[in-house]
Chains A and B, each alone.
Chain A
């Protein structure tokens, strides 16, 4: 028999379900927040705001057949407002994006080149128009399937595929142009 914590036992059924949803969805939602904001502080804020907003809609959320997609939709809306503050703050005190998956030992020239290329790709992704950036992040960072991305963005599967394709092409071209300039 599973031992429940006291906090969970004290909750009503719907609260308990929402708590479970938070536990289940917090890792992918956090990754999405982190990938959108590139700053731990803003990611933390966006993460909390997402779940606090979701709490106010918890009836609809818990009835949804894909609560995770619903959460991503909320994140996207809140991000639009936060990124304005974020852009203003960046003008005053520019930040360096936190690198979650930096190569641990940069000993060889190859490692430096790889990291440079990775940094460039990350930078190019931040410059993509939103309609390409969002599916790219959902696909590569959150590992959503094309079908799941279609639900989050409320567009057909084919459109998701063509946007992913176009985004890749844009990045590829920009990368080539940058390398030719060197």
Chain B
């Protein structure tokens, strides 16, 4: 290893190695919380108090809920303002915003889906661009008491997983967690507000969309039954927690079945074609991406336009190949030729050529070079 590389290696090891350990209080607290999850009946406010058919409940709260939500809660715009997202707040006042104000109740909780908006760069907390995201605001109120403040230890007793779901897609695989999503939460006047976001939902509108609210940290497969035939998610009536489902009334005008299918096919490759790049009409993702991973072919394809980037890739590749030569797994003659080709390609890249470096899962690679068009 070169001296420079060795130095940075040592620096990184010194800087990042950690002797941090969870302290005994933390572990004990975790054990207690896990134990209470095993006995959910001990948790306040989550007992069944009545059994009425789900349909009746839905009709009752939809018919009576809207007026309740409108004056009781902050608006979606106000919630966005609380999080200091002025662009998002403004978007919620636009004609494109969908004001829903639908309320449902279960097990001592009143949950209201307030509003929905899709857009481009509406928040600015991420260092990456927030492009083509969908945002939704949900309010949760406890019937018997107020939510404690977020920084109150008591707040740790409450967990909610709020996620859009796509009809026909397995909810444990396709939800906010896998769709580059996240949430912000705030308690105002004893009411908990969640602002969730994820990749744009409108392209899926023709398939049918819903939003679930579960009293768990992650998607709980016990909360809903998934009907493989209809592709619908149905609340499990025996679930001893909160498991509500709302329809998302998103217009099918902007649905795009093909784009949606590409997204779903590539979803579990977190580093493949991002949403904004699918809006381009070209078929070749490498026209606008530096790196593309294909999970079916199990390859990673990198588009290289700078000599130093190619140098970086091949430095490491040559180390691997030299080891393989020593192990008798690669011919020295082939390695020598690779180095000659490498020098030629470096020269061509410096003159404007684009190199496509394809790496296979077994470590083998191929190189394709495209000369600049005149």
Q: Which A residues are within 8 Å of any B CB, using their own CB? A: 7, 15, 18-19, 22, 26-27, 30-31, 34-35, 43-44, 47-49, 51-57, 74, 77-78, 80-81, 84-85, 87-88, 100-101, 114, 117-119, 121-122, 125, 129-131, 136-137, 140-141, 153-159, 161-162, 165-166, 168-169, 171-172, 175
Is B20 a contact partner of A171 (Cβ separation < 8 A)? no
CA distance A49 to B316 in the complex (A): 37
Once the chains bind, are B9 and A88 in contact (CB under 8 Å)? no
In the complex, besides A47-B26, A158-B360, A159-B300, 17 extra interface pairs with C-beta distance below 8 angstroms are A7-B31, A35-B18, A47-B22, A55-B37, A81-B183, A118-B15, A121-B15, A122-B16, A129-B127, A155-B270, A156-B293, A158-B361, A162-B313, A169-B312, A171-B11, A171-B12, A172-B4
Known contacts A56-B217, A101-B17; decide if A157 and B11 are in contact (CB<8 Å). Answer: no
Contacts of A119 in B (CB 8 A): 15
Which chain B residue lies CB-closest to A161? B316
- A-B CB proximity, top 6 nearest: A53-B218, A140-B16, A121-B15, A81-B182, A158-B359, A53-B217
C-alpha gap A44/B159 in the complex (Å): 16
Q: Report how far A74 CA is from B16 CA in the complex, Å.
A: 21
Contacts of A129 in B (CB 8 A): 127-128
Residues B11 and A88 in contact, CB atoms below 8 Å apart:
no
How many Å from the CB of A24 to the closest CB on chain B? 13
Q: Are A156 and B128 within 8 A (Cβ)? A: no
Residues on the B chain within 8 Å of A54, using CB: 218
| In contact, B19 and A84 (Cβ under 8 angstroms) | no
Contact between A31 and B217, CB atoms less than 8 A apart: no
Which positions in B face A, CB cutoff 8 Å?
4-5, 8-9, 11-22, 26-27, 29-31, 33-34, 37-38, 83-84, 125-128, 156, 159, 177, 182-185, 216-221, 268-271, 291, 293, 298-300, 302, 312-313, 315-316, 320, 359-361, 363, 365
Contact: B315 with A165, CB < 8 Å?
yes
A162 touches B316 (CB 8 A): yes
A-chain residues with CB within 8 Å of residue B320 when the two chains form the complex: 161
A-B contact pairs, 21 of them (CB 8 A): A26-B22, A30-B22, A31-B21, A47-B30, A48-B33, A52-B37, A52-B159, A85-B185, A88-B84, A100-B18, A125-B15, A136-B16, A140-B12, A140-B17, A155-B269, A156-B300, A156-B360, A158-B359, A159-B300, A159-B359, A162-B302
In-complex Cβ contact of B312 among A26, A84, A165 (8 A): A165
CA of A137 to CA of B20, assembled, Å:
14
B357 and chain A: residue at smallest CB distance: A162
Partner of A172, one of B8, B29, B361: B8
User: Cβ of B14: which chain A residues have Cβ within 8 Å of it?
Assistant: 101, 114, 118, 121
Min Cβ gap B179→A in Å is 11
Complex Cα spacing A73 to B221, Å: 18
Tell me, rounded to whole Å, the shortest Cβ–Cβ distance linking A59 to chain B: 8
Contact A121 B217 (CB under 8 A): no
- B15 contacts A122, C-beta separation under 8 Å: yes
Query: Shortest distance in angstroms between A174's beta carbon and chain B's nearest beta carbon?
Result: 11
A87 touches B27 (CB 8 A): no
